[in-house]
Structure 1
């Protein structure tokens, strides 16, 4: 791994880059048609409402990957955790340890903030990512099923 790798937190001026990385990740996950957010929405929720954070992995002045994360809370642990929503490394930089470096950085942020855990979801078909996560000691939560209510169903339930 290149020892010039460093991290920086996203700034408001990075909104278009954040969106580009989100779109590239969605394309890789075969879900690009589900991306409906735009720069204005990202700016509002990340920078105005401060509901998520982004770090970039950089080589020199070039951003080669990113992670978008936010705090959740465990009532059992009685403390916050970090939830990793997106982790992405540009294709030409994969296989060089940068994904692991991003996760190590997130783990360090979690420890520094006294969080109880770092967690994320992974698509069932993404064997290379699953193998990678297992190699780091991550444990699949096989006893849990994710449920989601969104869109019109969310609006109906709210009434």
Structure 2
């Protein structure tokens, strides 16, 4: 397999949302998808807060990755954070996942990033095995925390002191 890639453009917003919904179905998280085409267009193409690449078989998009820069104070430079990687089921097992990660590693190296990192669901043993097989190391000393929704709104509300 000779992988080719292309960067997403504004006209790809419906396709990006389709990939997100397919990934959510795979992860049994469909109810959590509130992204819309308008939101994706704003945050990906107007605010430029994340990027998307597609893996291609011929002219057909068979997988995608959505990623953005983070920053390591210890390294003193940016890294790449992979938010989502998804290969359509009928194309899995053909090397596209590895090719996408390799392409992201190339981008990280080209941009002089210090690392490439992502999260993986604990129950997704096939992905865990895949990532470990590529040399990725789990960050077992860390716990992910999240503030979202109403809690985020409340925490971010101006206080009387401001």
Q: TM-score, normalised by structure 2?
A: 0.96
Cα deviations by residue, 1:56-80 (Å, 9 ceiling, x for unpaired): 0001110000000000000000000
Pairing partner for 2:21 from 8, 13, 23: 23
**RMSD value, Cα:** 0.5
The structure that has the greater radius of gyration is 2
Decide which of 30, 33, 36 is 1:32's aligned counterpart: 30
1:58 aligns to 2:56 (yes or no): yes
Shift of 1:146: 0.3
In the alignment, the residues of structure 2 paired with residue 72 and residue 32 of structure 1 have an alpha-carbon distance, to the nearest angstrom, of 26
Q: Which runs of 5+ in 2 are unaligned?
A: 158-162
* Number of corresponding residues: 157
1:119: Cα distance to partner? 0.2
Q: Partners of 1:63 and 1:37 in 2: how far apart?
A: 20
For the residues of structure 1 that align with 2:132 and 2:95, how far apart are their CA atoms?
Answer: 15
> After TM superposition, where is structure 1 displaced by more than 3 Å over at least 4 residues in a row?
none
SS of equivalent to 1:87:
strand
Aligned mates of 1:96, 1:12 — CA distance in 2: 28
Alpha-carbon separation, structure 1, partners of 2:140 and 2:85: 21
Which of residues 83, 89, 92 in structure 2 aligns to 1:94? 92
Q: Is 2:73 the partner of 1:75?
A: yes
1:105 paired residue number: 103
- What is the TM-score of this pair, normalised by structure 1? 0.98
**Corresponding residue SS for 2:83:** strand
